[in-house]
Amino acid sequence: MSRIVVTGGAGRLGRSLVAGLAGAGHELVSLDRAVSDAPELADVEQIAVDLTDTDAAARAIAAARADALIHLAAIAVPFSAPEDVILRTNASMALGVLSAGVAAGIPKIVTASSPTVLGYGAPTGWLPDRFPLDEDTAPRPWNAYALSKLLAEQTIAMLARQTGEATRFAAFRPCYVIAPEEWRGAPTQQGHTVAERLDDPALSAPALFNYVDARDVATFVDTLLVALPEIPNAEVFFVAADDALARRPLAELLPQFVPGSERLAAGLTGTAPAFSNAKARRVLGWRPAHSWRGELGEPVTPSPSPDLARKDVLA
């Protein structure tokens, strides 16, 4: 059992992460702007703190006396505030919180990044060198939110250069997070239900049909924390479902929304997603347990896929 401090623990992802880690036997402390009455946090120690206040953040993080720090707190939606506010808030909060973790001697420090660092959806066009996208795909952020997330990744790399191996760091890029209540019809982050996102591919296309169940993010973080001392420092991981949030193959859908992607997307047949979770499988032995078809009770129609790991999914 570890004592884990989670920033943004009252948020959409934070609630499921805190509940999942507490369910796995860890002791949790949530640092968020306000104390939440969400049932997932009922038995969790919650501290109300504005984490943009660097001194208050440092005091709260030191007082938590934690074995691990997971930094989620951020302005989490692109263009939900002026660009300069998003960049300043997210980048300086990440620097303040993650540095405070180092100063408090917390041995394991993890930050949430985002797949948006890759830059898809750029108004001037975007094409990757290949699909599926993975941790080797070049980041090309085109808005302040994505840039702030790339800075958070770079901040852990920077801190690792300062501390050597004494502190173990990682960053993870959760795909479009779907919490348990959202499978049951509650609105997702962009305001639509999961069913609406499936019925109208234009709704899921801006995220390239990516998603992950929030409970799978919790098992990912739990697995990552165990592995951190053994894996290279300051690694970045995509945390993605095994399949795409789409009823039709992405080989068909992506070219409709990403001009020029016909040839690149041709291998995304069957249920294959645009984002690979192969690194998390290979390095950590993690795999997601939930899929949209399982949650919505829709049958999986097996079909060939270029990704070897997908054999397991279809089994």
Among 19, 22, 26, 114, binds ligand NAD (CB under 6 A): 114
Q: Where are the alpha helices (DSSP H) in the chain?
A: 12-23, 54-64, 83-103, 144-163, 180-183, 194-199, 201-204, 214-227, 250-257, 262-265, 278-279, 292-296, 310-314
Asked whether position 174 contacts ligand NAD by CB under 6 A, the answer is yes
Asked whether position 13 contacts ligand NAD by CB under 6 A, the answer is yes
Asked whether position 183 contacts ligand NAD by CB under 6 A, the answer is no
Asked whether position 14 contacts ligand NAD by CB under 6 A, the answer is yes
Tallying the residues shown for the chain, one arrives at 315
User: Which residues in 20-59 contact ligand NAD (CB under 6 A)?
Assistant: 32-33, 50-52
Q: In the structure encoding, which two tokens stand for residue 197, read together?
A: 């996102």
Give min distance, CB of 302 to ligand NAD, in A: 28
Q: What are phi and psi of 68, to 5 degrees?
A: -150, 150
Q: Which stretch binds ligand NAD (CB under 6 A): 3-11, 58-66, 154-162, 251-259?
A: 3-11
Verify cis geometry, omega within 30 degrees of 0, for the bond prior to 132.
yes
Compute CA 67 distance to the chain's CA centroid, rounded to the nearest angstrom.
21
Site string for ligand NAD, 55-94 (x = CB under 6 A): -----------------xxx-x----------------x-
Give min distance, CB of 283 to ligand NAD, in A: 20
Task: Determine contact, residues 41/30, Cβ cutoff 8 Å.
Answer: yes
Residues ≥6 apart with Cβ < 8 Å to 24: 218, 219, 222
Chain positions contacting ligand NAD, by CB under 6 A: 8, 10-14, 32-33, 50-52, 72-74, 76, 93, 112, 114, 174, 176-177, 189
